[in-house]
Amino acid sequence: MSDTSRPLLEVDGVTLQYKTKEHLITATYRVDFNVYQADRFVLLGPSGCGKSTLLKAVGGYLTPTEGQIRLKGKTVGGPGPDRMMVFQEFDQLPPWKTVKQNVMFPLLASGKLKGRAAEEKAMQYIELVKLAAFADHYPHQLSGGMKQRVAIARGMAMEPDILLMDEPYAALDALTRRKMQDELLLLGQDTRFTLLFVTHSIEEAVKIGTRILLLSPHPGQVTAELNSSGADTRDANGVLLSERINSILFSEPVETEEANHA
């Protein structure tokens, strides 16, 4: 039985820096947060506060200069199949590969599975995202939402502990963005994946997140951690929450709220 009281991901006093020839840039300063199983954990803050840098560090592409990142209690030392970045710019799905071939690709490329076993695993996740009828279609034959589901199936087929997404909807029009967010939430309900999601949109954070970490402007420091009940900025709870986030982001008091993980 999995221990749901223990965090899946622990980010503990993490300072992240970039060294260039002339400068040492501190992107985040002593950031702490914990992500639990099935959380949709959102990193929210203004441009340049270090959200993407944090995601890269969780991905193992950047080593903290201070602090530690642990997944299931083990220090993250580099990229690994236990953390899958879900790329969603649609050109990230090679157009010459079918849905099935796209989902099989990381399984084959990583050597995790071969041949028939990779195909079966891919189909298992294609069915989960309800695209079995489209397994032999090419990306250009799919809608944006369907392509998103392929990208998620591709990440999930690797059976990672956590999915990482960096502003996946930033370039989309408002209507498409809303549709994609709805699809992501439905998938979350069906599969209970654990998600670490970066955005600078308060509206998106309120909608997507079960928990929201607010970061101050550069260098990013935690200003608050809030629970979100999947409210929408169109309903009363969501409006209240987004107003609260607004006031915290713009006044920046340090505030903490313990999440309910009893």
Q: Tell whether residue 121 is a contact of ligand ATP (CB under 6 A).
A: no
Question: Which residues within the stretch 204-223 sit at the binding site for ligand ATP (CB under 6 A)?
Answer: 218
Does residue 155 belong to the site contacting ligand ATP (CB under 6 A)? no
Tokens of 224: 């608050």
Nearer to ligand ATP, 18 or 171 (CB): 18
- Position 88 contacts ligand ATP (CB under 6 A): no
Q: Which of residues 2, 47, 251, 260 is near ligand ATP by CB under 6 A?
A: 47
- Give me the phi and psi of 238, to 5 degrees please: -65, -40
Query: Cβ of residue 46: shortest distance to ligand ATP, in angstroms?
Result: 7
Does position 20 interact with ligand ATP (CB under 6 A)? The reply is yes
**Which of the stretches 3-11, 49-57, 183-191, 241-249 binds ligand ATP when contact is defined by CB under 6 A?**
49-57
The site that binds ligand ATP (CB under 6 A) totals a number of residues, namely 14
Please report how close the Cβ of residue 196 comes to ligand ATP at its closest, in angstroms.
13
User: Minimum CB separation from ligand ATP for residue 193, in Å?
Assistant: 22
Q: How far apart are CA 56 and CA 63, in angstroms?
A: 9
| The two structure tokens encoding residue 138 | 């090419």
Interface residues with ligand ATP (CB under 6 A)?
18, 20, 25, 27, 45, 47-53, 200, 218
